[in-house]
Amino acid sequence: YGSDRGFFSEKNVKSCKQKGVKVVCIPQRGGQKTPTRAKYEKSPDFKKGQRFRAGIEGRISVLFRGRGMKRCLAEGRKRFELWVGAAVIANNLMRIAALLTKRSSRKRRKRRAA
């Protein structure tokens, strides 16, 4: 689980561990880091979690900016989850279509060249 500094607190770290999160990748906010904490934040697992989080942030940005996932008017958690899921599926279908279009245009170019 990765997050940004704004979510760092011992309570949140403990909550993640209680929920079964194996590697909690929330950087410490403010204050002096203990040597143990500094070493942990430089560990490969921690950095991997932060990189994964950065990738997710980018995907969320694409959904907001380019795929119309602006404001959910549905009420309730289940409906919100369905709304987000539909946006993700729509985005994935658009990516698949773009990849297939790109692939077929390459094939056409090869046929013309031959």
Q: Residue 114: is its pLDDT beyond 70?
A: no
Query: If DSSP codes are grouped into helix, strand and coil, which group holds residue 33?
Result: coil
pLDDT in tens, 30-62: 888 889 888 988 989 888 888 887 777 788 888
**The tokens of 26 are what?**
């929330």
Kindly tell me the number of DSSP H helices and DSSP E strands found in the chain: 4, 0
pLDDT for position 69: 77
pTM: 0.55
Check: CB of residue 41 under 8 Å from CB of residue 27. yes
pLDDT in tens, 62-107: 888 877 777 778 889 999 999 888 888 988 998 899 999 988 777 7
